[in-house]
Structure 1
Amino acid sequence: MSSITRSVSAGVALATGVSLALAGVSVPAMARGPVPGAAAPLGGVQLEHLDRGLVAAATPEGVFLSWRLTATDATGATADGLTGTDFTVYRDGEPIATVTDSTNFLDTAVTTEETAADARYAVVAVVDGTEVERSAEVAPWTQAYTDLPLTRPADGVTPAGEAYTYSANDMSVGDVDGDGSYEYFVKWYPSNAKDVSQVGYTGNTYIDTYAADGRLLSRIDLGVNIRSGAHYTQFMVSDFDGDGRSEMMLKTAPGTRTTTYAAGGEVASESFVTLPEADLDAGVTNADDYRLDADAYYEHVVGMFRGWQDHPEVAAGNWPATLGEAFGIPQRYDYPLSDADARALADYFMDDYAPSRSARNNLRAFEGFVVDGPEYLSVFEGASGAELETIPYEPGRGDDGLLWGDYAMARIEPGNRVDRFLAGVAYLDGEHPSAVFARGYYTRATVVAYTWDGERLTQDWNVDSGHVPMDNPFDASPHGGVGSDDEYGTLAGQGFHSLSAADVDDDGRQEIVYGSATIDDDGSLLYSSADTLPAGSAAPGTEAKLGHGDALHVGDMDPDRPGREIFTVHEGATGAPYGWSMRDAATGEVLFGGYTGKDTGRGMVGDTDATVRGLENWAVGLRSASGELLPGRAPGTNMSIRWAADGTTQLVNGTGDQDTTIDDARRGRLLTATGTRTNNGTKGNPALVADVLGDWREELLVRTADSSAIRIFTSTEVTDRKLYTLMHDPQYRAEIARQNTAYNQPAYTGFYLASDTDFSEVSVPEAFLPGALPALRRQLEQLIGAGGVSGPAAQQLRASLDQAQRAIERDQAGNAARAVEKFLDRLGRQKPGTVTDSARDRLGHAGSVILSMLS
């Protein structure tokens, strides 16, 4: 069993029903192990302390209610779900139902819209017949969705005079204020956002943070030196430093600016990112504009040619000594080139050589790219957007793509392969979230991992395949080659348009699945997958890497074989052994797959048919988890969603000006989200698919057609499956954080989740929730204010919690546990009248959960 999870069938590590007998008063508690030594570090996988996330929605059948079970609520399993905390449903202050087998309920007594509008609902957690926690009251939505209002940025005009507008794009979530509910991060795309290979200016990219009521908390303007497109900006949201509040980490540049807004919507502050001292000394300012117009790019090429003989690859004899040799023309010039000769060669290169390679090469029109200037990695406070630290982005681009192969192929695309970025969040040590940032995957591939301790970024490790050697940077085929690094060279060319974090080897620590290769938690190369090219390929019988692809899925797809699987599609055509493949995630060995001889661009997995064992997969045909070809047509491949009551998988569809839909392979259309749009062109991605509210099923978050709001849809199918929120599964939480990376991919849990899940095999994390203790302190203050705790008891209980918080901030689990024990002891010893029975039950339960985590 992994060190960060437990199976509910393997003994109950967090069993309720135990009491601490304190001065004759029974305080509900959680069973725990021995208290660690005073200075022992905190243990357990760090996850968010979440409230119940109660949602009520009016339906024709009644008011549907849905809420969260947390990982710390789970104690065991039945055939239909987990056991643990039960719930009482309240309407207008009166109990109307007790729910033990799920975390949803349909109130059929309220069926008219007028009655539903006046109703107020709450759920109360019940442990051993005692009410220990009450949710906030909610009013029903009038339909199965709610709108998150947005504040759209102003339109703009490029230096070329082209007007552009904005629409909402990818999203993420995080608890930025530690109150147990999510805030929403929204990326704004200009209408002229472009792929890395497309020429032209783009507008600025913005990242907004919104409270759940639509109040704009902050806006980060990435500035003119970060181009807008699917491959440039991934924003990682997580509580990286374990203070119970989320931060955001992303790539920035000179000119990146934060605006913080006050409660009334007015600007509270504005500031640019802090430029490193070395850049300030070099004269860099936040007013710099590194975008190239066509004339500036021409001068860039002239400068590159004038220094040709000094390029390290030329000096080492790896590249042609002259440009004439590189272009295959007679040698006419002496080196170093004069300005006139360099211009003559630049003219030849742009007007003759490049067009001869491809009719699409029009380098005279090359503009809008950033191929020079500083690049940064910045950490921002989630709530205010305030910059916390900025460091140089690693690795730097080095050049405009010459070494990366951007001039080597028939299509000459400066700034393309060099500017392919990826990012993710991973529990590399099994407990704390690290941020992972990457550059490159077609040729050179680099991956860097960081931890953030609240004050400084620390690099965990740096993986670099090295550039793929070329004998001529203007005429070569570097795709599929091996990088120059002895250890990581085979990583080159294996990356995808996304990455995943998953514990593929079951050692309790997550690895980085980098497309067709996997990097171990310590930064070593676990494997790089290759196989034999088949008949009909470019070189039958030879070995080739599986190579690059567009779609990547990692999870437990086959419950009848141990471990996890990786399903991918590949675009290497006749140079790749497979167009699609299913691999063993631990070894990279191909379990089954198919050669296609072409770019296989799409693929998906999911439990679309409950009669078939495991998760089905489809790219070319529909197959079972074991590879058996199944009858029927394959569903869509844009995005999946867990929407149904029976645990099957549904598909999200809709591109362009079509309404977004949720479709079931067996039942047909389940939802038409009228007036909404997906993102990213033909990719048809929702803004986000994640379990952000209600029970374990996922919500659909999509923009309205005019981007005035994000519309959040929740499933109102009543389910009898009881499962903790997917956001408390470490793999799923990491996958949600990286969903906005390049070609958005679905998130998968670390355990098998389907219509036939054996709940006794569901892994439950041994979690540490940094926000739990502050939440207990807020609960105490509320009870003091309401009279539930009074007299000397108030200060005594405060003092114990303060002591526990100081110990946690010093990473001292034992001292924190002893302080919480003191809190529970004091709670049990209070004189009658100073702590009400209800307050004692609630505070005692919350304190016992925390003590169990610390122990």
Structure 2
Amino acid sequence: MSKKGRVLFSFVLILSVIVPVSEGNAEERKQEPTQPVQLENLDRGLIAASTPEGNFLSWRLLADEVTGHTDKGLTGTTFHVYRNHNKIAEVEESTNYLDENGGEESNYYVRAVEDGKEGEASDKVSPWEENYYDLPLQKPEDGVTPAGESYTYHANDMSVGDVTGDGQYEFVVKWDPDNSKDVSQNGYTGNTYLDTYTYEGELLYRIDLGVNIRSGAHYTQFLVRDFDHSGKAELMFKTAPGTKVITYDENGEVTSEEYITMPEEDKEAGYSHSDDYRMSSDDYYNHIVEMFMDWHEHEEVVNGSWPETLEESFGLEPRYDYPLSREDAESLADYFMDEYAPERSERNTLRELEGFILNGPEYLTVFNGETGEELETIDYKPGRHDDGLMWGDYAMSRIEPGNRVDRFLAGTAYLDGQKPYAVFARGYYTRSTLVSYSWDGNHLEEHWYVDSGWTPMDNPFNDSPHGTPGTNEEFSSITTQGNHSFSTADVDGDGAHEIIYGSATIDDDGSLLYGSFDTLPEESADPGAEARLGHGDAMHVTDIDPDREGQEIFTVHEGGTYAPYGYSLRDAETGEILYGEYTGEDTGRGMIGDVVPEQEGMETWAEGLWTADGEKISDDMPGTNMNIKWSADLTTQIIDGAVDETPVITDWKEGTLLTAEGTRTNNHTKGNPGLVADVFGDWREEMLVRTEDSSAIRMYMNTEVTDHKLYTLMHDPQYRSGISWQNSGYNQPSYPSFYFASDMDWEDVPVPDMKRSPSLDRLHDTLEAYIENGEVTGPLSHQLTHSLRQAAHHHDKDAMKQARHFMEKFLMHLERTHQERHLSEEAEKDLERQGEQILETWKN
């Protein structure tokens, strides 16, 4: 895939999704959105790969090219395939082709054909040597913790976005040190880095999150989306003092290091980018002492909710006067660490606690996706408030400061049905919060804020805050309902996305749609009681059962004897349980997919394999780490291989389809690839995994010819949002808004009505294509190229008067009659139409 220049500005693609309403559907449930929805203005995404049968080619059908459907797929644009500038095929029924006569020296491009006329040529590509491509990476240097422990790096989670505006995806790679920690685990970690690479492997910049962001799956959820309608993606994630952007020259030498902007009030308070809030064991001891010295002033003590004395909290006879002196606070801290905590659990080794970040400022920063430049930094909402004391981190038998307080999630959602909003969450075991933002290119604006309030405790050192309603009546039921990831989907058919926060769902306007409860069975810990479905490790939201209206939610639940179900399938709009089973244990994994094609609907599995309508098929079941839309027949495949195992793609019926030799998955037992997404080619997903030495990201694609035609999944808003949040917490697959399986009814696939805004990049590519094929020649080619380049230059500088001037010159060159011998009639009409559209936009 060739690289396009980055100097040309690109407007965004606009899409109106029309959801088909089949006969008998409730019209009040499915409302057609009246406003367009913003998605990416993607190029053709052409990829070629060498196979034993020849060269396999795959490319995108864009959403605005769909015209209808057949019983095997969608209909739409026909494509001409070119090898070495010679037309070799016309493809109508799919978006892939096997060139049996192609060789390693072949190069290819495709042209869309509309009304019998060819459009612009795609980028030229040469075939990969295998069914994968290695994106070269630049591994960060090894490091040493303050405790003297050495660590190295491996590539971890990924995301994609068009940060340059050229219609191609760039790749954002998170680097994890090998001492990264679960949020409840003790010890120092190395810094987390985020790199942005082009397809060719150029490192655009590196963001060092700094020593004040701990490394691990729960700390850094990074969003890569075009939030501001500019045509270029931004990056957005949690930052802290010490976060900086690093740029490099072509030799890999550092050319600049720029820290994020610290708010003035923080600078005035004495904070700086050289601060290090990582706690040593001595620091933590002093932290406890100071917390005890201030006990009498704690808000919950003052209002009478908590014991007046620490002795009462620990079950001791009164012995100290309050406020505590340092000496008395140290005596109580010694008792707490050496006697009270170990008696509650042998895992409470608080004297050894180190590496946690329990103090200091927390920020949310937006970065320019192309350059890494910081665009805005604000305070992270909500702040941690404390080290987890009010979050319940000291209340359970296992005392885990910095645990429940530092459970973060993030994603994007079309909350108004038109554009992606950023959604950030903190907490899901006790207090649960979500905040959404829009980005207008200059500032973040809060859209809504959801907060369950604190979970009341009688004693913060001995209580059971899980399952306790929050103090905010409106959202009191969302406590302990969140998962290690949330999903986004339009569950009520109004055209806007809801946030499926585990066993609760937040409506698009920030109100509570529902929290899911049910009755505990006889064999549970509290028979007959109404209980939350509660927290779980895995969740899947899409149209699982095509015979039912709307989407469904399949979730596993962790609550054991205090949860009504170990796994459940729910109606996504109402939360109603469709089927499920009480297990009495932490049911840790679950998955869905079309793995038994002869059964209608998707199968679900957590404890055995079940049909979409609740019939058990088998005690055996496929793997649960990650699924992938891989095969030509629209069935679902499974990615297996965790820790140090080689990843494989397996089919429940056919067995192993791919062994990804020389690569590894991420996140230990979770066994996640860096990313599973429809990154390029046709509608099928690619698997992106790191090589064993993290020298590259290996991108695998399926080279099996398929005769099913579907627009790129990235043009389904629900699926595209899912790719944004796939890196969050425990990575989960992304699903489209429609039933996707081998028995799908193509009439029910949402048919988009896309209206793409004019694009300078697209006009540039069109002009280059006409010059290359001889339809624009002579001095005219130079005149048009120069005018377009100047228009883009002034547009990027926001000098709109000059930009309009050069676009008018571009059109004037086309209109001169003596230029006819240098310009075909088709090229003139095409270039003039696009130029006039851009000029009209600029005048507005």
1:88-125 CA distances to partner (integer Å, 9 max, x unpaired)? 11111111111000000111123xxxxx2111111111
Aligned pair 1:259/2:246, yes or no? yes
- 1:587 lines up with 2:574 in the alignment: yes
Paired residues of 1:824 and 1:847 also in contact (CA < 8 A): no
**Cα gap change, 1:326 to 1:767, in 2 (>3 Å):** farther
- 1:795, distance to aligned residue in structure 2 (A): 7.0
Q: Report whether the alignment pairs 1:306 with 2:293.
A: yes
**d(CA) in 1 for partners of 2:462 and 2:344?**
9
| TM-superposed deviation, 1:663 | 0.2
Deviation, 1:794, is 6.7
Whether the 8 Å contact between 1:258 and 1:386 is mirrored in structure 2 is yes
Shift of 1:266: 3.4
Q: Which amino acid aligns with 1:285?
A: S
Q: Does residue 250 of the first structure (1) align with residue 237 of the second (2)?
A: yes
Deviation at 1:792, TM superposition (A): 12
For residue 82 of structure 1, report the CA deviation from its aligned partner. 1.1
2: CA distance, partners of 1:200 / 1:391:
29
Measure the CA separation in 2 of the matches of 1:540 and 1:296: 45
Q: Does 1:648 align with 2:635?
A: yes
CA contact (8 A) 1:48 1:769 kept: no
Q: Equivalent residue for 1:104?
A: 96
Shift in Å, 1:769: 4.6
Separation in 2 of the partners of 1:185 and 1:776? 27
For the pair 1:629 / 2:641, whether they are aligned, the reply is: no
Distance 1:51 1:217 in 2: 20
Question: How many Å apart are 1:840 and its aligned residue?
Answer: 3.8
> 2:658 maps to which residue?
671
Deviates more, 1:122-131 or 1:442-451: 122-131
Q: Distance in 2 between matches of 1:688 and 1:479?
A: 32
Q: How far apart in 2 are the matches of 1:824 and 1:663? A: 58
* Structure-2 residue corresponding to 1:39: none
Distance in 1 (alpha carbons) for counterparts of 2:121 and 2:408 = 44
Q: Runs of 5+ in structure 1 lacking a partner?
A: 12-41, 111-115
* Distance (whole Å) between structure 2 residues aligned to residue 152 and residue 833 of structure 1: 54
Residue of 823, 829, 832 corresponding to 2:820: 832
Cα pair distance change 1:713/1:829, threshold 3 Å: farther
Q: Quick check: 1:247–1:381 contact (8 Å CA) kept in 2?
A: yes
Of 42-51 and 677-686, deviating more is: 42-51
Equivalent residue number for residue 29 of structure 1: none
| Contact 1:824–1:844 (Cα < 8 Å) also in 2 | no
Structure 2: distance between partners of 1:179 and 1:539: 59
Q: Secondary structure at the match of 1:734?
A: helix
Aligned residue for 2:365?
378
* Matching residue of 2:329: 342
- 2:11 is matched with which residue? none
Where do 1:265-664 residues align within 5 Å? 265-631=252-618, 633-664=620-651
Structure-1 separation of matches of 2:620 and 2:375:
50
| TM-superposition CA deviations, 1:644-663 (whole Å, max 9, x none) | 00000000011122111000
1:730-749 alignment runs, 5 A limit: 730-749=717-736
1:668-691 deviation line (CA, Å, top 9, x unaligned):
100001000000000000000000
Aligned counterparts, 1:88-103, within 5 A: 88-103=80-95
For residues 852 and 273 of structure 1, do their structure 2 counterparts lie closer, same or farther at Cα, with a shift above 3 Å needed?
Answer: closer
Taking the aligned partners of 1:659 and 1:347, their CA distance within structure 2 comes to: 48
Contact 1:231 1:422 in 2 (8 A): yes
Q: Which of 783, 788, 798 is residue 776 of structure 2 equivalent to?
A: 788
**Residues 1:9 and 1:69: Cα distance change in structure 2 (over 3 Å):** farther
Describe the SS at the equivalent of 2:821. coil
Q: 2:164 corresponds to which letter in structure 1?
A: D
Assess if the C-alpha contact under 8 Å between 1:610 and 1:756 holds in 2: yes
User: 2:30 matched to which residue of 1?
Assistant: none
Partner of 2:154: 167
Partner residue, 2:18: 6
Distance 1:653 1:377, change over 3 A: same
In the TM superposition, what is the alpha-carbon distance from 1:757 to its structure 2 partner? Answer: 1.4
Superposed displacement of residue 810, structure 1? 14
Greater mean alpha carbon deviation, residues 393-402 or residues 426-435? 426-435
Q: Percent identical across equivalent pairs?
A: 59
Report the TM-score, using the length of structure 2 for normalisation: 0.91
User: Relative to 1, partners in 2 of residues 1:5 and 1:66: Cα closer, same or farther, differing over 3 Å?
Assistant: same
Quote the offset at 1:579 in angstroms. 0.6
Conservation of the 8 A alpha-carbon contact between 2:120 and 2:766:
no
1:133-172 CA deviation, whole Å, 9 max, x = no partner? 2111111111100100000000000000000000000000
Query: Is the contact between residue 767 and residue 853 of structure 1 (CA under 8 Å) also seen in structure 2?
Result: no
Per-residue CA distance 1:773-820 (angstroms, 9 max, x = gap) = 5422553477579771775997799799979x999x999xxxx9xx99
CA–CA distance in 1 between the matches of 2:841 and 2:529?
53
Q: Is the alpha carbon distance of 1:772 and 1:583 closer, same or farther for their aligned partners in structure 2, counting shifts above 3 Å? A: farther
Question: Are residues 588 and 121 of structure 1, via their aligned partners in 2, closer, same or farther at CA, if it must alter by over 3 Å?
Answer: same
Q: Tell me: CA distance 1:386–1:721, structure 2 relative to 1, closer, same or farther (3 Å).
A: same
Q: Residue by residue, what CA displacement relative to the aligned partner does 1:440-499 show, whole Å, maximum 9, x if unpaired?
A: 000000000011111101111111001100000000001111110011111111110001
Q: Which one has more relative contact order, counting CA pairs under 8 Å at least 6 apart?
A: 1
Does 723-732 or 132-141 show the bigger shift?
A: 132-141
TM-score (norm 1): 0.90
1:290–1:496 CA distance, 2 compared to 1 (3 A): same
Structure 2 residue corresponding to 1:84, chosen from 53, 67, 76? 76
CA contact (8 A) 1:164 1:192 kept: yes
| CA–CA separation in structure 1 for the residues paired with 2:142 and 2:100 | 47
Q: Secondary structure at the match of 1:498?
A: coil
| Preserved contact between residue 176 and residue 245 of structure 1 (Cα < 8 Å) | yes
Partner of 1:53: 45
Q: Distance in 1 between matches of 2:44 and 2:304?
A: 65
CA distance in 1, matches of 2:716, 2:497: 12
Compared CA separation, residues 712 and 375, structure 1 to 2 (3 A): same
Superposed, 1:692-711 pairs within 5 Å as 692-711=679-698
Paired position in structure 2 for 1:75? 67
Asked whether the 8 Å contact 1:465–1:488 carries over to 2, the reply is: yes
**Matched ranges for 1:149-160 at <5 A:** 149-160=136-147
Is residue 46–residue 769 contact of structure 1 (8 Å, CA) maintained in 2?
Answer: no
Contact 1:187 1:206 in 2 (8 A): yes
- Letter of the 1:832 counterpart: E
Partners of 1:824 and 1:571 in 2: how far apart?
68
1:683 is aligned to 670
Q: Structure 1 825/752 Cα, relative in aligned 2: closer, same or farther at 3 Å?
A: farther
Q: Match for 1:144: what amino acid?
A: N
**Aligned residue identity for 2:18:** R
1:5 counterpart letter in structure 2: V
Contact 1:793 1:835 in 2 (8 A): no
Q: Is the 8 A contact 2:814 2:828 kept in 1?
A: no
CA contact (8 A) 1:243 1:770 kept: no
1:215 maps to 2:202: yes
Which whole-Å CA distance do the structure 1 matches of 2:781 and 2:174 have between them?
49
What is the deviation of 1:530?
Answer: 0.6
Structure 2 gaps of 5+ residues are 1-14, 24-33
In the comparison of the two structures, how many residue pairs are matched? Answer: 809
Specify the SS of the correspondent of 2:618. coil
Worse overlay, 824-833 or 84-93: 824-833
Q: Partners of 1:831 and 1:76 in 2: how far apart?
A: 40
Q: Which amino acid aligns with 1:369?
A: F
Instruction: Give the Å deviation of 1:846.
Output: 6.2
Work out the CA distance in 1 between the residues paired with 2:327 and 2:755. 67
Amino acid at match of 2:676: V
